[in-house]
Amino acid sequence: MKLAYHLLLVMVLAFIASTTVQAEQKANAIHQPWNELLNKHVKSINEGVSTQADYAGFKTEQAKLQTYLNTLSQVEKSDFDSWNKATQLAFLINAYNAWTVEFILSEYPKIDSIKDLGSFFSSPWRKEFIPLLGETRSLDNIEHTLIRGDNKYNEPRIHFAVNCASIGCPALREQAYNAQHLEQQLTHQTTRFLADKTRNYSDGDTLYLSSIFKWYQGDFEKGGAGTHSLADFILLYPNALNLTAQQQQQLNNNTMKIKFLDYDWALNDSQ
């Protein structure tokens, strides 16, 4: 009797595990159209450390983008909650980036910056136009509530993955994010951004960093890699910044000055 019970339990657990894997595989497969659009319309520049978006090219395939966005909108919150964290995070990053491109296309080519889509009294990132997971959301809601809220994912590298359609941003990746390769993708996005000398560089005893590190310093100080300060996070990637042994020691001793650079909000357009 006990043997039969255990066999039944094993079979049930195996069925649940198989069903979960199939659901997550299906969840990752829905990003293929977005992957194709990115492959085609995002161009690598500056020896690969940055990219530009061909918004005119995206515009010619806006119907395909909108079909993809409709697919994302149809995902039920209960299904999303059943996925593992990597599948969830890849979904949210892709959603943020794809809706940002759609947002730009709503007025392109009549804009020079994503800020043109807002006003003095209204931030473009707070505009609620995104039907996702049972609510109408803003870009801010996706980033700050779904991704960063409650420290659910404890992943500061998302700041190098979500893209604000601006020159100052980390590169819009040329491929969609997916659960299977998410760790490698986030690591690559981090190192390529730190290696971009127009946004981050060292000079003697001073480290010049993107304002992203100022705005979200708290995220980098409580990162999942055991970091407790911004310097700790930077020291995880010394080669990307070409930091000398002396500079690394200065960072470690908190004797290296850190200054934050101005942010370029001009559109990251390839035209």
Confidence of residue 56 (pLDDT cuts 50, 70, 90): very high
Q: Identify the band that residue 14 occupies on the pLDDT scale cut at 50, 70 and 90.
A: very low
Residues paired with 203 in a beta bridge: 206
Distance, in Å, from the CA atom of 168 to the CA atom of 141, rounded to the nearest integer, reads 21
Mean predicted confidence (pLDDT) in 43-68: 98
Q: For 230-258, what is the mean pLDDT?
A: 96
Q: How confident is the model at residue 1 (pLDDT cuts 50, 70, 90)?
A: low
Compute the distance between CA of residue 252 and CA of residue 249 in angstroms, rounded to an integer: 5
30-48 pLDDT per residue, tens: 999 999 999 999 999 999 9
Average pLDDT over residues 195-202: 97
Q: For the ranges 1-10, 150-159, 182-191, 247-256, which has the lowest average pLDDT?
A: 1-10
Model pLDDT, residue 28: 80
| 17 φ/ψ angles, rounded to the nearest 5 degrees | -65, -40
Give me the residue label for tokens 């993107």. 210
185 burial (CB, 10 Å; 0-12 / 13-18 / 19+) is buried
Does residue 149 carry a pLDDT above 90? yes
226 versus 165: the higher-pLDDT residue is 165
DSSP three-state, residue 219: helix
Residue 120 pLDDT level (bands cut at 50, 70, 90): confident
Alpha helix positions (H), 42-164: 55-60, 62-73, 77-82, 85-105, 139-140
Question: Model confidence over 199-228: pLDDT tens digits?
Answer: 999 999 999 999 999 999 999 998 666 678
Beta strands in the chain (DSSP E): 42-45, 50-53, 130-132, 135-137, 201-203, 206-209, 257-260
Rounded percentage of the chain residues whose pLDDT exceeds 70: 90
